[in-house]
């Protein structure tokens, strides 16, 4: 069944609300929430329609970072001569760990990059990954599928957790510190619709300003969509494609500086999921598709790749190997939303064959701030 354009723009929420309204047509509460959701989606569509890409001025142009004053009473981390150092990164992570805030001048300077990453807002579990696996360095490189690496693969995304801002600033900082050893990819939550629904927009506005969220939105549009490691392993957030014949060169040609379309390779890279049976089927998410082992095999053969690594789905053990070892899912947010009781995992890729080694870990304590604390009120009904 073909979904309408607006329906597909917010599949995680609108599909469920529409289902409830269909099954329970006399449920006034469900109708009210569905109408409110419609209103939000239409408002976003209107805002996009009236914004001319040619006339739109980047928020960066309106910033006067040089003249921003750091108050005398501020005792947090500061950039050293305008540069990110390992000392700054360690001090910033300790600052976030104590639930303190980085000065807005440092925050703006940290996010002025074109390649960056995404998280599920579980900052204390991110710190645990660095504790277990070592801080990023030239000899310990990371790539983010939302997070994959030349030798290590981890996965984070914005939204859902309530410390997304701390995670993304930490990742941005490491990208500035280690531009050739820290790689970040875009996930399906690095979009305006998802950020509004699931909490990242509300979190940034609560901790800083609307202007800063607008800048994040711009930066997310420049995130790479996939990473090819040594010509053998392709890393992305979602998965493979709704049609055969997609080549790596096609991915390089995608105009990614935009909000994702409703279909096509860019949409699929962010939204698709593997399935055990051959062929393709309609996605349970209401957007993109589910792809079988035969689809994976053909894509890898055509592009001379060994396997793919992706995220996008909670896994009880933190990872899952499917499609005869050709499709690996890794999920690095343990006890997702404080209720899934899943393990987290990351991967080491070693040797000339890049054989994956899986490392599992469990959730660590965090301050008593509930997941999705900044989400749209509709999303606090417990939907996922």
Q: Which residues are catalytic?
A: 189
The residues, any chain, with a CB within 8 Å of residue 123's CB and separated by 6 or more, are: 96, 97, 161, 163, 166, 167, 170, 366
**Contact assessment for residue 260 and residue 266, using Cβ atoms and an 8 Å cutoff:** yes
Which residue's entry shows tokens 């055509």? 302
DSSP single-letter state for residue 49: H
| Cα(120)–Cα(124) distance, integer angstroms | 11
Q: CB under 8 Å to 87, separation ≥6 — which residues?
A: 80
Q: Is the dihedral of CA 293, 297, 300, 305 positive or negative?
A: positive
Q: For residue 100, count CB atoms less than 10 angstroms from its CB and return exposed for 0-12, middle for 13-18, buried for 19 or more.
A: middle
Shortest CA distance to 203 belongs to which of 216, 187, 188? Answer: 216
Six token digits for residue 284:
């349970």
For 107, the token pair is 């925050």
The residue written with tokens 């002025």 in the block is 112
List Cβ<8 Å contacts ≥24 apart for 12-15. Answer: 12/194, 12/197, 12/285, 12/286, 12/383, 12/384, 13/37, 13/197, 13/378, 13/379, 13/383, 14/38, 14/41, 14/286, 15/285, 15/286
Instruction: Give the list of residues 6+ apart from residue 166 with CB closer than 8 angstroms, or none.
Output: 96, 123
Residue 346 CB neighbour total at 10 angstroms: 25
- Residues contacting 176, CB < 8 A, separation 6+: 83, 84, 110, 113
For the chain, helix, strand, coil in percent to 5 are: 40, 15, 45
Task: Look up residue 121 and give its DSSP letter.
Answer: S
């Amino acid at each position: 069944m073909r979904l309408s354009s607006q329906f597909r723009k917010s599949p995680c929420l609108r599909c469920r609300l529409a289902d409830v309204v269909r099954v329970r047509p006399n449920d006034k509460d469900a109708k009210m929430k569905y109408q409110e959701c419609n209103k939000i989606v239409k408002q976003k569509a209107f805002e996009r329609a009236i914004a001319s890409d040619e006339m739109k001025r980047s928020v960066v142009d309106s910033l006067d970072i040089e003249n921003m004053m750091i108050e005398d009473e501020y005792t947090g981390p500061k950039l050293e001569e305008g540069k990110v150092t390992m000392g700054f990164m360690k001090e910033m992570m300790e600052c976030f760990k104590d639930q303190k805030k980085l000065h807005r001048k440092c925050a703006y300077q940290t996010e002025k990059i074109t390649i960056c990453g995404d998280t599920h807002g579980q900052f204390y579990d991110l710190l645990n990954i660095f504790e277990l696996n070592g801080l990023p360095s030239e000899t310990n490189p990371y790539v983010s599928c939302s997070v994959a690496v030349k030798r290590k693969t981890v996965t984070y995304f914005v939204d859902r957790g309530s410390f997304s801002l701390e995670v993304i600033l930490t990742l941005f900082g490491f990208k500035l510190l280690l531009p050739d050893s820290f790689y970040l990819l875009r996930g399906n939550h690095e979009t305006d619709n998802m950020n509004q629904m699931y909490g990242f927009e509300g979190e940034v506005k609560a901790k800083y300003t609307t202007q800063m969220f607008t800048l994040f939105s711009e930066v997310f549009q420049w995130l790479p969509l996939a990473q090819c490691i040594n010509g053998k392993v392709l890393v992305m957030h979602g998965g493979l494609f709704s049609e055969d014949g997609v080549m790596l060169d096609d991915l390089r040609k995608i105009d990614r500086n935009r909000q994702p379309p409703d279909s096509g390779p860019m949409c699929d890279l962010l939204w698709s999921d593997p399935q055990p049976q051959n062929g393709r089927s309609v996605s349970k998410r209401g957007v993109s598709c589910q792809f079988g082992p035969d689809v994976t095999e053909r894509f890898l053969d055509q592009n001379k790749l060994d396997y793919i690594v992706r995220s996008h789905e909670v896994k009880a053990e933190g990872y899952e190997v499917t499609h005869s070892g050709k499709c690996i899912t890794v999920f690095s947010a343990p006890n997702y939303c404080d209720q899934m009781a899943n393990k987290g995992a990351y991967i080491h890729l070693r040797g000339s064959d890049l054989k994956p080694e899986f490392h599992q870990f469990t959730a660590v304590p965090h301050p008593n701030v509930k997941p999705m604390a900044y989400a749209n009120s509709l999303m606090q009904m417990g939907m996922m």
